[in-house]
Amino acid sequence: MRIAIASDHAAVELKAELREYLIGLGHEVADLGPDTTDRVDYPDFGYRLAAVVADGTARFGVALCGSGIGISIAVNRHPGCRCALVSEPLSAALAREHNDANCIAMGARLTGVDMAKACLDAFLTTSFGGGRHAGRVAKLTTPAL
């Protein structure tokens, strides 16, 4: 499976760890940057991630910044993305099962490497439940305002 990963400067090290972990699991990983800890703006990388997930270039996206909050907001500005900010495996699994999330966000300053890997495992091994959740997910893309 092709997975895109992006971060800001605060999460470059976590991104590198997760990229290697995903490759070790047999996934193809598109690292969308950045490559250094030089200061960058998380929206730029969140928008880049959203574009490749929304157009189908990548099946899922992993968005990382210091808290995970800013980059998740940036990704969610794209109507083709549903990015869930998670901090433990249950929320990661429920993001897939109930919300059909196609992106996961985590904060490098808040989530350790082992917990981030556990969140990825839960996210990637959980399927969308459909059923009563399908109509709700449809409203996330086309809100009835």
Q: Is 78 annotated as a binding residue?
A: no
Q: Is 132 annotated as a binding residue?
A: yes
Q: Is 136 annotated as a binding residue?
A: yes
Q: Is 70 annotated as a binding residue?
A: yes
Q: Is 100 annotated as a binding residue?
A: no
Among 65, 81, 83, 119, which one carries the catalytic annotation?
65
The reply to whether 119 belongs to the active site is no
Taking the CA of residue 110 as centre, how many other CA atoms within 13 Å lie in the half-sphere pointing to its CB? Answer: 13
Among 78, 81, 83, 98, which one carries the catalytic annotation?
98
The reply to whether 81 belongs to the active site is no
Q: Is 9 annotated as a binding residue?
A: yes
Q: Is 72 annotated as a binding residue?
A: no
Binding residues for D-ribulose 5-phosphate: 8-9, 66-70, 99, 109, 132, 136
The residues annotated with a catalytic role in the active site are 65, 98
Residue ranges of the binding site: 8-9, 66-70, 99, 109, 132, 136
